[in-house]
Structure 1
């Protein structure tokens, strides 16, 4: 059975470090601790004293003064790894942790998982070809030498960088090394760790290179594992669940995140908020528990993205400069059907096609596979359609040789509605207001990835009010947009009331409008 040696890098809160060590070793696992050399000596002594009688705990032989983005973080990790390898010969895996991490599965589950997956778990993507680095310095991290801490000595850091660029002091990456990048939170097998430690003793050139790279904790182990281990034995992901905000800051987890964390396909999570005492207590008891059944739904990141975007939606009032003279045509009429239940809007379009000659296209800005004529490639992808929306619409008017065109939009596409409404052409809107049962909203959450097949019912119940309020908010935005010709049909209205709105929207006779509105299964789910 798997035995895990946890490599803990920490720098504060000795009480929490002691608790974490006792919790994780109580199940028979091990821990090697590196406590930052910058921390108070008395804190370090208290940790050593409290854990002195625990045979499953050891300490790095040397304490390093660590700094963000520096080689010191890798050096500290290597010191702790060497101690763990020497002290714990029965350890089969070595798992990198910080003081902010906590287990979100039982030891029983973790051991079984590692027994079933004989691989190294480490994010490892090509440094130059992948898009892992979203902003800021990329190749300059490697090809120039970095001697100063960017956070503590910002001016010196960038002065040194500029000077090397000006003097052309670039350096080469070691010829036989393909640099990789990824998260520093990994879980490696014993053989892999032993090979890495042997490599560090033999390849001093590679060690010199990484010592002066910037943020080497994201490249050193990631590169060496790819260099030493066959690709088929590497799982390029972390077993520690972490998320980042739009500003690149780690998301903190709080007391009400317990169920969400347990349902993710990870063994640990970071960062647990210091104030989340209830969450820490519950997770602390979890690791030693037996027979716990976990329902893995893994919707955490998509759910966070959805919730964090509420309230951030902006509105673009003015047309972009390249669209200023891109009118659809003053003589043309664009008819837009707005509906959250796409199947209802599509059903309505089918009725309109049977009664009128108006060309009608379904959700062309929302669904990639919407049937469209060949327009020279502009129709090929959603991104192209949205970016060149006015050009696309002009081409569709010309293709159908019509001065009227009907399309469907999701209520969330208010920016598109505003853009078309500001055009010189005539634009009319038909808003379809449907009723939403809890069952429908739950299905919607599954369809858009906010929930999985095994999402706990309690999590789903908490999510449904947010989804319902989001739909109401989108409808309010449409009403507040001030569209001059906005017509509305409702599921709760009579066919006669809806026919009156359709007559104004489509410019039909009362008889034809009633023919469309009289469809008794129009709103059926």
Structure 2
């Protein structure tokens, strides 16, 4: 049976460290602690005193001063690992933690999870060919020598880098290693950890190289483990659930995130807010709990981006100067059908296509697979279509040799509606107002990844009002935008009531509008 030795790197909050150690070792697991030598001595003394009688806790024999991005973080990890290897001969796995991490599964679940698959869990992506590094330095982390901390000595750090560039003082990476990168939160088997320690003693050249790389905690273990362990025994993932905002900052979890965390396919989570006392208390008890079942839905990341995205309205792509000045063309008429239920809009558009001569294009800014002609490559991706939207629409008018064109948009695309409305051409909008049952909203949440088949019912019940409000919020934004030609047909209205707005929108006779409005099962889900 798996027995875990947790490798804990920490530098603050001694009471939380003590509680974390006690909750993780009460079931028979182990912990090796490295407490930053920069931290307050009295805090370290309090931790040593509180845990001195716990046989399942040990401490790194040598404490060092740690700095973000420095080799010191790797060295501190190695010091704690060496102490754990010596103190806990029965430990089968070694799991990296920080003081901000908490278990989100029970020990029974974690042990069974590790027993099922004889493998190491560590992210390790090709350093030079992957896009794991989103911004900032990449190869410069490795090919130049970094002796200073960028956060403490910013000017000197970049001056050193610039002088090395000017003098051509680059260096090769070790020839026999494929450089890898990934999260520093790993879980390795005992055999793997022993191999890594042996490697550090025999390959002094590699150790010299990594000591002067920048942010080596994202590359050292990731590279060495991939070098030593067969690929089929490595699972390229972390078992610690963590998320980042689109600004690159880690997401912090609070008291009301308990159910969300438990439903993720991970064993631990970070970062737990220091103020989330109730969450820490509940998670602390969870690890020692017996006979716990967990419904894994894994919707956490999509749900987070959905909820935060609602409050951040704006255009991702700024229009080019030549696009903002360009026009779809005076005398042209763009008719936009908006509907959250895409199948309803498509059903209406199919009827428009069959009863009129107006070309119709469905959700071209929402669906990659929308049926579009070859326009020289501008139509190939959603990103290109959105960025060059006016140029794309001009080309579609020209391709269909028409001055009247119907397209479908999701109600969330108000930025596109406003951009087209501001054009010299004429823009009309038809809002298909549908009714949304709870079952439909739940299905929608599952389709877009906000919920899974195993999402707990109470989580779904809390999610429903948010999704419903999001739809209402989009409608209100459209109403408040002041569009000059905005018509609406409703699911709750009769055919007679829907005919006039449809006739105005399309500029067609009443009898033709009646034929379209009376389409069988138009609003049926």
Query: Do they superpose with TM above 0.5?
Result: yes
After TM superposition, list the pairs within 5 Å mapping 1:345-494 onto structure 2.
Answer: 345-494=345-494
In structure 2, how many angstroms separate the alpha carbons of the residues matched to 1:329 and 1:69? Answer: 55
- 1:251 pairs with 2:238: no
Shift of 1:359: 1.2
Query: SS of the residue aligned with 1:142?
Result: helix
- 1:127 pairs with 2:119: no
After superposition, the Cα gap between the structure-2 partners of 1:430 and 1:249, relative to the gap in structure 1 and judged at 3 Å, is same
Shift of 1:468: 1.3
After TM superposition, list the pairs within 5 Å mapping 1:95-106 onto structure 2.
Answer: 95-106=95-106
In structure 2, how many angstroms separate the alpha carbons of the residues matched to 1:40 and 1:518? Answer: 76
Uncovered stretches (5+) of structure 1, i.e. residues with no partner: none
After superposition, the Cα gap between the structure-2 partners of 1:440 and 1:228, relative to the gap in structure 1 and judged at 3 Å, is same
After superposition, the Cα gap between the structure-2 partners of 1:324 and 1:287, relative to the gap in structure 1 and judged at 3 Å, is closer
Task: Give per-residue Cα distances to partners, 1:253-273, cap 9 Å, x unaligned.
Answer: 111100000000000001111
In structure 2, how many angstroms separate the alpha carbons of the residues matched to 1:223 and 1:510? Answer: 71
In structure 1, how many angstroms separate the alpha carbons of the residues matched to 2:456 and 2:23? Answer: 26
Checking the alignment, whether the CA contact within 8 Å between 1:9 and 1:98 is kept in structure 2 is: yes
In structure 2, how many angstroms separate the alpha carbons of the residues matched to 1:369 and 1:244? Answer: 29
In structure 2, how many angstroms separate the alpha carbons of the residues matched to 1:475 and 1:180? Answer: 47
- 1:230 pairs with 2:230: yes
In structure 1, how many angstroms separate the alpha carbons of the residues matched to 2:290 and 2:213? Answer: 44
Q: Give the aligned partner of residue 208 of structure 1.
A: 208
Checking the alignment, whether the CA contact within 8 Å between 2:353 and 2:359 is kept in structure 1 is: yes
In structure 1, how many angstroms separate the alpha carbons of the residues matched to 2:246 and 2:507? Answer: 46
Q: Give the aligned partner of residue 12 of structure 2.
A: 12
Query: SS of the residue aligned with 1:43?
Result: helix
Q: TM-score, normalised by structure 1?
A: 0.97
Checking the alignment, whether the CA contact within 8 Å between 2:319 and 2:387 is kept in structure 1 is: no
Checking the alignment, whether the CA contact within 8 Å between 1:316 and 1:415 is kept in structure 2 is: no
Q: Give the aligned partner of residue 188 of structure 1.
A: 188
Checking the alignment, whether the CA contact within 8 Å between 2:323 and 2:391 is kept in structure 1 is: no
After TM superposition, list the pairs within 5 Å mapping 1:81-100 onto structure 2.
Answer: 81-100=81-100
In structure 2, how many angstroms separate the alpha carbons of the residues matched to 1:409 and 1:155? Answer: 49
Shift of 1:317: 12
- 1:515 pairs with 2:515: yes
Checking the alignment, whether the CA contact within 8 Å between 1:6 and 1:95 is kept in structure 2 is: yes
After superposition, the Cα gap between the structure-2 partners of 1:35 and 1:515, relative to the gap in structure 1 and judged at 3 Å, is same
- 1:21 pairs with 2:5: no
Decide which moves more: 215-224 or 488-497: 488-497
Task: Give per-residue Cα distances to partners, 1:71-127, cap 9 Å, x unaligned.
Answer: 110000000000111111111100000111110000000000001121111111111
Query: SS of the residue aligned with 2:379?
Result: coil
Shift of 1:350: 1.8
In structure 2, how many angstroms separate the alpha carbons of the residues matched to 1:480 and 1:312? Answer: 17
In structure 1, how many angstroms separate the alpha carbons of the residues matched to 2:206 and 2:101? Answer: 30
Q: Give the aligned partner of residue 118 of structure 1.
A: 118
In structure 2, how many angstroms separate the alpha carbons of the residues matched to 1:282 and 1:430? Answer: 50
Decide which moves more: 369-378 or 422-431: 369-378
Checking the alignment, whether the CA contact within 8 Å between 2:317 and 2:387 is kept in structure 1 is: no
In structure 1, how many angstroms separate the alpha carbons of the residues matched to 2:90 and 2:38? Answer: 32
Query: SS of the residue aligned with 2:264?
Result: coil
Decide which moves more: 383-392 or 51-60: 383-392
Checking the alignment, whether the CA contact within 8 Å between 2:329 and 2:424 is kept in structure 1 is: yes
Query: SS of the residue aligned with 2:489?
Result: strand
Checking the alignment, whether the CA contact within 8 Å between 1:319 and 1:419 is kept in structure 2 is: no
Task: Give per-residue Cα distances to partners, 1:5-45, cap 9 Å, x unaligned.
Answer: 10011111222111111111111111111111111222212
Task: Give per-residue Cα distances to partners, 1:407-426, cap 9 Å, x unaligned.
Answer: 11101111211222222222
In structure 1, how many angstroms separate the alpha carbons of the residues matched to 2:186 and 2:482? Answer: 53
Checking the alignment, whether the CA contact within 8 Å between 2:119 and 2:235 is kept in structure 1 is: yes
Query: SS of the residue aligned with 1:376?
Result: coil
Q: Give the aligned partner of residue 288 of structure 1.
A: 288
Query: SS of the residue aligned with 2:79?
Result: helix
Q: Give the aligned partner of residue 271 of structure 2.
A: 271
